[in-house]
Amino acid sequence: MEGTVEGFRYGAVTPVAAYLMACLGGALGLRCIVRSLLNARSWKPGWLALGAASIGCGIWTMHFIAMTGFHVEETRVRYDAATTVLSLVVAVAVVGVGVFIVGYRGTGRVALAVAGVVTGLGVAAMHYLGMAAMRLHGDIGYDPVGVVLSVLIAIAAATAALWSAVTIRGLMTSLGASLVMGVAVSGMHYTGMAAVSVHVHDTTGGTWEGDSPLSLLLPMLLGPVVFLLLAGVVVMFDPLLVHGERAENRSPARHPGRSAGVRAANSIPAPRTSWHDADSPTRGR
């Protein structure tokens, strides 16, 4: 029989919390990518990797916070731990591919299109791999139209996020872009969930393996959340990330020639003048 699927078991708590985590991951990731572009002497691979991990963890955390509100009335829902962890690895790895493409190739049409498609497909793969981690006494089906629409939303969201990461430099504009990115990622998730249907088996028999959502997801969510908080500390205490190009312009290393000229000018001793040198009648003797 068809199961009664509910996506908001805890009301607005899970979608709001999921949206905030997607925004946090997006904001940190975008600022880390900007940091790698503002200063060519910074360790670019490190900042790009931190940005990819922030975005990937934000998307993954958003998905599974939202999934704690997923409920099928006729059967319990459990999760396979290995597949759940694999979905996190896929999210970070594929987002990293797109971030490194735009980080080194810029936002040319070809580079941005390739990076957006790869990252969007990775985000969608993370979503449906996370869905594959569910264990319940029934079969999960998907409406093809909803699946295709969710993948297209994921690609569009990823492309827009990568474009804004290398185009928008200001702090406030980056935060605005992360809010839009959170809406797009959440829209992708709930569009995919609207395509879900569950055909429940005979509930009087049979068992299935897996951990309950609260016993598995909450402890697993703790690691990515702590990582995002630590990444936020790194961003908050980096003046170049907070003040953008203004901090870079204030740095002496930004204008080495000017700094050297100022130092050279300061090192030249001032001409010695005194009343004796200027007015003494015996000056020429």
Cα dist from 137 to 78, 141, 149, 221, 285, whole Å: 10, 13, 27, 25, 114
Which residue bears the tokens 């990076």? 115
Rounded CA-CA distance 242/233 in Å is 12
Rounded CA-CA distance 125/60 in Å is 11
Residue 15: other Cβ atoms inside 10 A: 19
Rounded CA-CA distance 20/40 in Å is 31
pLDDT tens, per residue, the chain with 285 residues: 777 888 788 888 889 999 998 888 888 888 888 777 776 666 788 888 988 898 888 899 899 888 888 888 888 888 888 898 899 999 899 989 988 988 888 768 888 889 889 988 888 999 999 899 888 888 899 999 999 999 999 899 888 878 877 777 666 777 777 888 888 889 899 999 999 998 888 654 444 554 555 566 666 677 777 777 777 777 666 655 555 544 444 444 444 444 444 344 444 454 444 444 444 444 444
Residue 66 tokens read as 């939202």
Rounded CA-CA distance 254/240 in Å is 12
**Which pLDDT score is estimated for 16?**
92
Task: Return the DSSP state at 155.
Answer: H
pTM of the model: 0.74
Rounded CA-CA distance 146/196 in Å is 9
**Which pLDDT score is estimated for 144?**
94
**Which pLDDT score is estimated for 278?**
43
